[in-house]
Amino acid sequence: MIRRAAWLAVALAVPLPATAWAEVPDQAGWNAARQSVDLGDGLVAGYVELGADPAAATGTPIVLIHGYTDNSRSWSLMAPALAEALPGRRILALDLRGHGASSAPDCCYAPDSLAHDVGRTLDGLGIERADLIGHSLGSITSAYLAATEPERVNRLVLISTTVKMPAEPTQWLWENVPALPATIDPDSQFMRDWFSNPNPVPDAFLDIERAEGAAVPKQVWMGVLQGLTMLDWSLLAPRITAPVTVMWGDQDPLFGPESQDWVKAALPKADHRTYAGAGHNIFWEQPQQVASDLAAHLTD
């Protein structure tokens, strides 16, 4: 934790140029582009500005929320196309608790706690209402916030989502995550499997993703897994008032067709879109297409 805190202090101390939010940072510059919000209780949340200058932006802010052991960098492949398609919009990619530049306390990592952090982050950034785009764990977190604080969510996009955890991937995670060493090898077979994709994704991006995933503290790996295992938000779904788009790749090894049946039953009025041949990380595999589809859904 001391090493993580020291890294965070250095990363946040790097001065940002005045135009930092006008351009999506490249992979090498991502950490330096991170900013932070004080959430109180000794916690901070990291984020990266990807769209228009907040002081000059128009329309509803767009907030991107990543998946389990990813961080704001997860959106870096798609963000340039999304920012180009929606000029003038403020676009922010958040780091969830325990990920990226955000604090990693001993607990609590279930979707309700993560959603609470997202709400506090929006408060700290002066955002009353946003369009939320969440991937995997981030989609569940976004759905939870949209159901419990519906006045805060204008539109909701759930990428590679589920209402509850399917048995087989849950068992696989429980067989592997508790056995992870304190220092995880980013090139281990587990990490390569965890970040695998059925279609090509740039190695330069994946190498950093695996390294940053391996650096996620063990209590975060375990806390998220415990929270997801207890998950079932089907009874919350009717409380979501925002228009919903669900994006799913039909080669998703974590949340397969059974999961999508659950999602369709919980959100029957949602726009459900299937990406043939795509896996769990659709927006890594098809960034231009997903950005175009998102822009169509999020146009004010």
Catalytic residues: 136, 280
Residues contacting residue 3 through CB under 8 Å, at least 6 positions apart: none
The residue ranges of DSSP E strands in the chain, in sequence order, are 35-40, 43-49, 62-65, 91-94, 130-135, 153-159, 244-249, 271-275
Local structure of residue 202 (DSSP, 8 states) = -
Q: What would the DSSP string read from start to end of 12-75?
A: HHSPPPTTGGGS---TTTHHHH-EEEEEETTEEEEEEE-SS-TTT--S--EEEE--TT--GGGG
Strands 43-49, 91-94: pairing is: antiparallel
The structure tokens 């059974």 sit at 258
Neighbours of 60 (CB within 10 A): 18
Cα 79-223-119 angle, rounded to 5 deg: 50
Residue in the structure block whose two tokens are 């990543």? 66
CA distance 225 to 261: 22
- Helices 111-124 and 218-229: crossing angle, nearest 10°? 110
Phi, psi of 63 (to 5 degrees): -120, 125
What's the rounded Cα separation, in Å, for the pair 178 and 183? Answer: 13
